[in-house]
């Protein structure tokens, strides 16, 4: 288990996917920076999610609410009162532990020192809003994007006039002062969420909940996660968050075991009622047909972008023996691969070969994410692209100068084909489909 994670962490750094945060200062523990290919992978995941959940449906509206919200939001949501872990500190080594993780509540699991009495530790990060460091200006960095959608429910009703059932979708950063972050990007203090708040009639909530569980599992399969590594798991009553009546997780089989990728919760009418009470605004929905006014129920599929990216990387990692050597390849789904096409000149010292390769790359950039690379020998260039998960590599060689053809190599089959320069775009569209860029 450790071995495969070590390999993935090393690949992520070596190939520009994910670096330790603030690396030159020795790193900020459990913070991570996404490099050139990591940001492409995350953007592609977010695009696939948005396409499926906003553009692909008639009942969904996108949103992008502010990270910093009125402090009353977090009183209404219950986060001020309920969003905490019990923790104990070690009096000797000063490390902090989540009580739920401890077998022995008196002694430190690392140095056997004496532990303090458990204390409540709120997981929200705080800052000051404005220029005065005064307790009245304390605000929280949002621990979930969800509340930005609940507080805009009325704005959406008044501006877009949707009919139930309908949903809001948002992608954005969230922050939690996690006591036990770890497993690379799996649990961090700063992360990104992809959340849907789907509003429906209370009597339809159970059915809508089941539909979203199915939809969300299907989506992970559609972006290429292997079915044997995906499962759903219903929460026990004692696992439920303070706002949820029911919750089902979509779990991925990570190298350390099955763990949550996404939770689909039935939040009932808890949030709208709470915000109505704290804001004094009427947040009920008015049904024109039946003339009823009521609080809709909310079904919430809530996933993490970073967790999804990590699962995708783990799932796509393959080692293959080729002619006595180990070939490492990321078999990423074509929509997620950071780079679709790489173009190389076989000989760097032949100006006409370099020029042709650069021109082909520039032409392909109009349609596909393409890079030109001549910084190493051809074998090394292929290895580099395999580890990034690039779908096609195009090589311009001496023969190309005579027959105006190039060699195109497929990442997965490793088959090479000679294609006329003027047919490359069509060839790639045939292979990748028009929706893939």
CB of residue 91 to ligand GAP, shortest distance in Å: 27
DSSP helix, strand, coil percent of the chain (3-state; round to 5): 35, 30, 35
**Preceding amide of 371 cis, omega within 30:** no
CB of residue 215 to ligand GAP, shortest distance in Å: 16
Nearest to 53 by CA among 179, 218, 256: 218
CA–CA separation, 273 vs 418, rounded Å? Answer: 64
Q: How many chain residues touch ligand GAP (CB under 6 A)?
A: 19
Nearest to 419 by CA among 364, 338, 347, 372: 364
Residue 24 in 3-state DSSP? helix
Residue 384 in 3-state DSSP? helix
Q: Residue 196 class from Cβ within 10 Å (0-12 exposed, 13-18 middle, 19+ buried)?
A: buried
**Is 274 a binder of ligand GAP (CB under 6 A)?**
no
Q: Which is nearer to ligand GAP, 261 or 424 (CB)?
A: 261
CB of residue 392 to ligand GAP, shortest distance in Å: 32
Tell me, residue by residue from 284 to 323, as one string, x for binding to ligand GAP by CB under 6 A and - for no binding: ----------------x-xxx-xx----------------
343, 357 in Cβ contact below 8 A?
Answer: yes
Contacting ligand GAP (CB under 6 A), which of 28, 107, 178, 431?
178
Distance between start and end Cα atoms, the chain? 34
Provide the β-strand partners of residue 47. Answer: none
**Is 345 a binder of ligand GAP (CB under 6 A)?**
no
Contacting ligand GAP (CB under 6 A), which of 53, 193, 356, 400?
193
Contacting ligand GAP (CB under 6 A), which of 187, 284, 334, 340?
187
Nearest to 13 by CA among 36, 30, 29: 36
| Cβ contacts of 269 within 8 Å, gap of 6 or more | 202, 295, 296, 297, 298
**Encoding tokens for residue 19?**
């670096």
**Is 269 a binder of ligand GAP (CB under 6 A)?**
no
CB of residue 327 to ligand GAP, shortest distance in Å: 31
Stretch that binds ligand GAP, among 106-114, 189-197, 386-394, 398-406 (CB under 6 A): 189-197
Chain centroid, CA 358 distance in Å = 33
Tell me, residue by residue from 242 to 261, as one string, x for binding to ligand GAP by CB under 6 A and - for no binding: ------------------xx
Residues 131-160 that bind ligand GAP (CB under 6 A): 144, 146
**Is 76 a binder of ligand GAP (CB under 6 A)?**
no
**Is 191 a binder of ligand GAP (CB under 6 A)?**
yes
Q: Which is nearer to ligand GAP, 271 or 386 (CB)?
A: 271
Q: How many helices (H) and strands (E) does the chain have?
A: 13, 23
Q: Which is nearer to ligand GAP, 85 or 89 (CB)?
A: 85
**Is 209 a binder of ligand GAP (CB under 6 A)?**
no
CA–CA separation, 249 vs 259, rounded Å? Answer: 9
**Is 409 a binder of ligand GAP (CB under 6 A)?**
no
CB of residue 400 to ligand GAP, shortest distance in Å: 47
Q: Which residues bind ligand GAP (CB under 6 A)?
A: 144, 146, 176, 178, 187-188, 191, 193, 195, 260-263, 300, 302-304, 306-307
């Amino acid at each position: 288990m450790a071995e495969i994670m070590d390999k993935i962490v090393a690949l992520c750094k070596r190939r520009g996917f994910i670096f330790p945060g603030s690396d030159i200062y020795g790193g900020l523990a459990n913070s991570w920076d996404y490099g050139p290919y990591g940001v492409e992978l995350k953007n592609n995941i977010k695009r696939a999610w948005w396409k499926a959940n906003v553009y692909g449906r008639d009942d969904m509206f996108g949103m992008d609410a502010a990270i910093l919200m009125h402090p009353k939001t977090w009183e209404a949501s219950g986060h001020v009162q309920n969003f905490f872990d019990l923790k104990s500190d070690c009096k000797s080594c000063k490390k902090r532990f989540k009580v739920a993780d401890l077998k022995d509540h008196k002694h430190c699991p690392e140095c056997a020192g004496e532990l303090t009495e458990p204390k409540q530790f709120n997981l929200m990060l705080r800052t000051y809003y404005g220029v005065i460091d005064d307790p009245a200006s304390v605000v929280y960095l949002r621990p979930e994007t969800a509340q930005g959608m609940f507080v805009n429910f009325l704005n959406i009703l008044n501006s877009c006039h949707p009919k139930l059932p309908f949903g809001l979708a948002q992608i954005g950063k969230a922050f939690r002062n996690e006591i036990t972050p770890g497993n690379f990007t799996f649990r961090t203090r700063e992360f990104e969420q992809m959340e849907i708040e789907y509003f429906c009639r209370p009597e339809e909530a159970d059915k809508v909940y089941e539909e979203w569980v199915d939809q969300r599992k299907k989506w992970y399969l559609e972006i290429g996660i292997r079915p044997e590594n995906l499962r759903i798991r219903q929460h026990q009553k004692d696992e439920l968050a303070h706002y949820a009546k029911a919750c089902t997780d979509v779990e991925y089989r990570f190298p350390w075991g099955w763990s949550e990728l996404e939770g689909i919760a039935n939040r009932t009418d808890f949030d709208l009622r709470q915000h109505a009470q704290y804001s004094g605004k009427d947040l009920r929905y008015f049904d024109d047909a039946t003339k009823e006014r009521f609080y809709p129920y909310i079904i919430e599929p809530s996933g993490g972008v970073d967790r999804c990216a990590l699962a995708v990387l783990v799932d796509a990692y393959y080692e293959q023996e080729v002619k006595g050597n180990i070939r490492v390849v990321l078999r990423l789904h074509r929509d997620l691969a950071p780079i679709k096409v790489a173009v190389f000149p076989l000989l760097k010292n032949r100006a006409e070969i370099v020029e042709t390769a650069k021109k082909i790359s520039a032409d392909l950039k109009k349609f596909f994410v393409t890079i030109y690379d001549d910084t190493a020998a051809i074998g090394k260039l292929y290895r580099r692209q395999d580890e990034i998960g690039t779908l096609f590599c195009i090589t311009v060689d001496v023969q190309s100068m005579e027959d105006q053809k190039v060699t195109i190599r497929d990442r997965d089959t490793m088959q090479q084909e000679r294609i006329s320069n003027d047919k490359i775009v069509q060839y790639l569209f045939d292979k990748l489909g028009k929706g893939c860029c």
